[in-house]
Amino acid sequence: MARNLIACTVVLSFFVIIGTILPSFADEIRATDQIKKNLEMIEMLKKIELSKKILAQMQEGKTIDNTKAQQIQELRSKVKASLAEEVNRMNKDYEQYNSQNAFAKFVAKKPGHVQPIYQEMFSYHQEKVSQAKSEYNKIISSGGKTKDAWDAYHKSSATNRIKLIQLNKDLSIKYGNANLAIQNTFDEKGKIPRTSE
């Protein structure tokens, strides 16, 4: 009961405040003769009509906001398409300088028997970077922290010295630039073990 009384008081206070601030709309109110004789009812009807007008103005404001939001979204779409077009143009203009082509030019200057080794090492590096990017994107897309994503990227892209030595050894043997028996004399760190005589 007390809550209902408080709610009614708040609503009536709102109508009283609005009624005193804004002009009267008595000429717009349609009422029966019995209601027209009761001043309190007329005042309440005036306030109800005023509330309807205020609500209509608020609704109109929301429509304007929605229109602006839609215009902003359309503008974003146009800018995104323009940016994608510009990036594609730049990629085409500077294609000769991308990592793959720049490395191919570098390798072309090396002797033919070592070129495949360089190319496979580059491919290994590209694969590691691709895996690292995938790890980074997986963490970011699942809502993870940027620091955690970068930590995963660095961990996934890292290659230790021993792995590089082993990779170089395997590729040298694969392409006939090294002998398996000779390569097996080196330890895992790429050094010839010392013998004590």
Whether 79 shows a pLDDT value over 80: the answer reads yes
Please, which pLDDT band fits residue 91 given cuts at 50, 70 and 90? confident
Return the higher-pLDDT residue of 10 and 46. 46
Q: Measured between alpha carbons, how far is 86 from 151 in angstroms, rounded to an integer?
A: 31
Q: How much is the mean pLDDT over the chain?
A: 80
Phi-psi domain of 139 (left: phi exceeds 0; alpha: psi -120 through 50; beta: other):
alpha
Please, which pLDDT band fits residue 92 given cuts at 50, 70 and 90? confident
State residue 139's pLDDT score. 92
Q: DSSP H helical segments within 94-174, as ranges?
A: 99-108, 115-141, 146-157, 161-174
Query: Model confidence over 148-182: pLDDT tens digits?
Result: 999 999 999 998 888 888 888 888 888 887 888 88
pTM of the model: 0.51
* CA distances to 8, 14, 57, 67, 161 from 61, in Å: 28, 21, 6, 10, 65
What is the percent of the chain with per-residue pLDDT over 70, rounded to a whole number?
80
